[in-house]
Every structure is written in structure tokens, then in C-alpha cells.
């Protein structure tokens, strides 16, 4: 912290004496900030949540060298590395860890890999998105490095000062990190929009380097094995990044009725979400759950049908830009956060909406 203050003071003084462009301040006298991002990729591209992490990392300071770590193997990994290298000029390096053991998001080898890289790279920050991958790996790595991680950060006010929601978002807690390096953080992607991509970045592509894994295999044991992933096939936009989300609660009464919501989603080009009640009643699979313990979303338009508005659910969607609630019960708590409320039977309202809504562009 102290060095940062001095750094700022010096920089400001220089700014006032000489025009900033005349003398680029020397990097070598000050300790550089460096950030390692645990990247996630799919089908040869960085996931949007990783781009949000890049966004968050760029707020740690201007002279921050940002490295993205990608793991796995095969052509997807190489493609993702190329994508990462040319995606934004703030990314200064892409680290590729090519190993079969990293193909699947197992916490044990990943945490050991982070440990290995920290020993080599001495990063000031290690961050990832608060995805199921980040939440699984980062705290384990932090414990191995003997530092406290800070999860689900929604705002970085200044370096080492973070805001995060507690009590299902009913309070916001500002914490100052006072420990040793690295400062380890997971960020809520909906609070950090991915950086806008400037044109013609191909020329300034970041270097890609392979991580030397020769010492890695001895350290990491095969105490866990990945067996399979069962995912829901869908051509809908991903819940985490959708511009519009339509959500159903217990009020939909059956899995059959959820198809009504699917139709509406199709018309709007929206993703479908659900409350815990709807998931527990087996109307929809659990990866659609929005809430404190499910997915946290912040779309432009959130439409809740037959959702009462329990605090655990509100925690997952209260940052949506426009909230619409359709419910039979005028006293449902959801109406307290809704921008537009309609007290009506959803079985009449949804078909009417489907009929009258304009076709998506």
C-alpha cells in the first residue's frame, strides 16, 4: 500500500511539472503490479466471464501486467490461446498449461498449478470469475498459499479495497485486503462488463508462452478423477449473459406449463430461468436456478412469472436493469422490486404476451 501511495504521489508530481507524454516514467524503480487471471475457455474461445475478469483486473492500476492462464490440451486450447492473445490490448501475456489432467476442471491439479505459477511469477493479484470453476479452485489455491481469498466482488473501489454482497445481497460489505501477496479475488461477472474490444488488435497480439510443467506432475496426485458432465442441450442464450431473461416460479405449476415460458423466451430471444421452488419441483433442471445459491444474473430485462420474490431469489436478479413481475397475488414481495408489475393470472398473461409481443430483431 505504501509503495502505491508513493507511486501515485510521484506520478502526480511529474504530471504537474512536465507534460506526461514528454517523459514516460521509468517502470524499473517501482514495483510493478501483475495479475494472473484463471481463464476459462469453451470451443476455442474465452468465456465471457473471463473477459469480465479482464475488465476487473484492469481496474487495479494502469501499470498492471495481466496474464491469462489457460489449461487443457488439444486444438481447442491452442485456438483459445490465440483468441486470448488478440482479444484486448490490456492482456500482456497468455500462459498455456498443456496437460491432460487439466482438461477437466478438477480443483486439485488446478490449485497446484496456481501455486506453481505464483512461486515463479510472484503475482500481486490472482483473480477469476465467481463461476463454479472459480469458486471451486481459487479458495483451495489460496489456502495452499496461506492467504484469505475474497469472493464475489462486485466493485473494486481502489487497489485492495473491495465491495461484496453478504446476507443474500441484503447488505454490502467493504473489505480492505491487508495480507501478503497474492491478493486473491473472484469477481461477479455481471458487475464487470467485458471490456469493449478496440479494432485492429491483431497487430498487438500478446505473446503466448507454454508453462513448464516438468515439476508439476510430481506434486499433483491423482486423488480425484473426472467421470462425466451431464448438460442440458439448448440453443437459447446462456443465462449468465442473456439480454432478456424470463423466469418461472412455483406458480407455473408443472413442467408442462414451463413450455409456455419457453415459447415466450423464443419470441423474445431470451434465456429461461427458474426459482428454487420450480427446480425442486422438477419443472426444470437445476442449472437454470437464479438466486443466492444459483446463478446471479443482471440482464436488461428480467420478467418473473409466478415468482413470489423470496430474498434468496431476489439476491440473484436485483441488479437487472428492468424488472417485470406477473403474479396473481398483489402482495407478493416481487412487486416491491419490480419496475412494472401486472397483477394477473399468468396462464392468461403469457399467451397474450406471446401473441402481442413484436418479433425479435
Dihedral (CA of 16, 18, 21, 24) sign: negative
Residue tagged 524499473 (cell numbers): 28
Q: Does 176 bind another protein (CB under 8 A)?
A: yes
Q: Does 240 bind another protein (CB under 8 A)?
A: yes
Told to check if 111 binds another protein by CB under 8 A, we report yes
Give the integer Cα–Cα distance in Å for 290 and 273.
6
263 near another protein, judged by CB under 8 A: no
Q: What's the DSSP call for residue 21? A: T
Is 275 annotated as a binding-site member?
A: yes
95 binds another protein (CB under 8 A): no
Stretch that binds another protein, among 8-16, 77-85, 246-254, 351-359 (CB under 8 A): 351-359
Contact in structure between 141 and 126 (CB atoms under 8 Å) = yes
Q: Binders of another protein among 195-234, rule CB under 8 A?
A: 221, 223-232
Residues of this chain, 135-164, that bind another protein according to CB under 8 A: 135-144, 146-152, 161, 164
Return the H-helix or E-strand segment holding 113: helix 107-121
Helix (H) or strand (E) holding 183: strand 183-187
Q: Does 352 bind another protein (CB under 8 A)?
A: yes
- Does 168 sit near another protein (CB under 8 A)? yes
Quickly tell me which residue has 497474492 as its cell.
182
Q: Are strands 64-72 and 33-38 parallel, antiparallel or unpaired?
A: parallel
Contact segment (CB under 8 A) with another protein among 13-21, 23-31, 119-127, 177-185 equals: 177-185
What 8-state DSSP symbol labels residue 3? H
The residue within the footprint of another protein, chosen from 120, 322, 329, 345 (CB under 8 A), is 322
Q: Is 167 helix (H, G, I), strand (E, B) or coil?
A: helix
Q: Which residue matches cell numbers 482438461?
A: 103
Taking CB under 8 A as the rule, does residue 1 contact another protein?
no
Which of residues 146 and 256 has its CB atom nearest to another protein in the complex? 146
User: Judged by CB under 8 A, does residue 297 bind another protein?
Assistant: no
349 binds another protein (CB under 8 A): yes
Angle at 359 between CA 354 and CA 361, to 5 degrees: 145
312 carries a ligand binding annotation: yes
Determine, following the binding rule CB under 8 A, whether residue 125 of this chain makes contact with another protein.
no
Q: Is 2 in the site for another protein (CB under 8 A)?
A: no
Would you say 121 or 165 has its CB closer to another protein? 165
Question: From the CB of 69, what's the least distance to another protein, in Å?
Answer: 18
CB atoms inside a 10 Å sphere around CB 357: 11
Q: Are strands 183-187 and 91-98 parallel, antiparallel or unpaired?
A: unpaired
Q: Residues annotated in the binding site for FAD, as ranges?
A: 250, 275-276, 289-293, 306-313, 327
Amino acid at each position: 500500500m505504501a509503495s502505491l501511495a508513493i507511486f501515485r504521489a510521484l506520478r502526480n508530481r511529474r504530471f504537474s511539472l512536465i507534460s506526461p507524454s514528454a517523459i514516460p516514467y521509468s517502470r524499473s524503480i517501482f514495483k510493478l503490479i501483475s495479475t494472473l487471471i484463471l481463464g476459462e475457455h469453451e470451443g476455442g474461445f474465452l468465456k465471457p466471464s473471463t473477459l469480465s475478469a479482464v475488465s476487473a483486473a484492469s481496474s487495479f492500476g494502469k501499470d498492471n501486467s495481466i496474464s491469462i492462464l489457460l489449461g487443457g490440451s488439444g486444438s481447442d486450447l491452442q485456438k483459445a490461446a490465440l483468441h486470448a492473445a488478440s482479444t484486448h490490448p490490456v492482456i500482456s501475456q497468455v500462459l498455456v498449461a498443456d496437460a491432460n489432467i487439466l482438461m477437466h476442471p478438477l480443483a486439485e491439479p488446478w490449485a497446484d498449478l496456481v501455486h506453481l505459477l505464483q512461486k515463479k511469477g510472484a503475482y500481486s493479484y490472482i483473480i477469476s470469475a465467481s463461476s463454479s470453476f472459480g469458486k471451486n479452485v481459487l479458495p483451495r489455491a489460496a489456502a495452499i498459499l496461506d492467504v484469505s481469498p475474497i469472493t464475489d466482488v462486485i466493485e473494486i473501489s481502489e487497489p485492495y479495497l473491495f465491495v461484496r454482497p453478504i446476507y443474500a445481497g441484503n447488505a454490502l460489505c467493504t473489505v480492505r485486503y491487508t495480507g501478503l501477496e497474492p491478493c486473491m479475488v473472484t469477481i461477479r461477472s455481471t458487475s464487470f462488463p467485458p471490456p469493449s474490444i478496440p479494432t485492429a488488435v491483431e497487430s498487438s497480439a500478446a505473446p503466448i508462452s507454454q508453462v513448464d510443467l516438468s515439476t508439476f506432475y510430481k506434486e499433483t496426485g491423482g486423488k480425484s478423477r473426472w467421470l462425466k458432465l451431464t448438460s442440458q442441450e439448448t440453443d437459447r442464450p446462456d443465462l449468465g449473459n442473456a439480454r432478456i431473461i424470463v423466469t418461472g416460479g412455483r406458480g407455473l405449476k408443472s413442467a408442462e406449463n414451463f413450455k409456455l415460458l419457453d415459447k415466450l423466451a423464443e419470441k423474445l430471444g431470451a434465456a429461461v430461468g427458474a426459482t428454487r421452488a420450480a427446480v425442486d419441483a422438477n419443472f426444470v433442471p437445476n442449472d437454470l436456478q437464479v438466486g443466492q445459491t444459483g446463478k446471479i444474473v443482471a440482464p436488461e430485462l428480467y420478467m418473473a412469472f409466478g415468482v413470489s420474490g423470496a430474498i434468496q431469489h431476489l439476491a440473484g436478479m436485483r441488479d437487472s436493469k428492468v424488472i417485470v413481475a406477473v403474479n396473481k397475488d398483489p402482495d407478493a414481495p416481487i412487486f416491491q422490486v419490480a419496475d412494472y408489475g401486472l397483477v394477473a393470472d399468468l396462464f392468461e398473461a403469457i399467451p397474450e404476451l406471446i401473441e402481442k409481443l413484436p418479433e425479435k430483431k
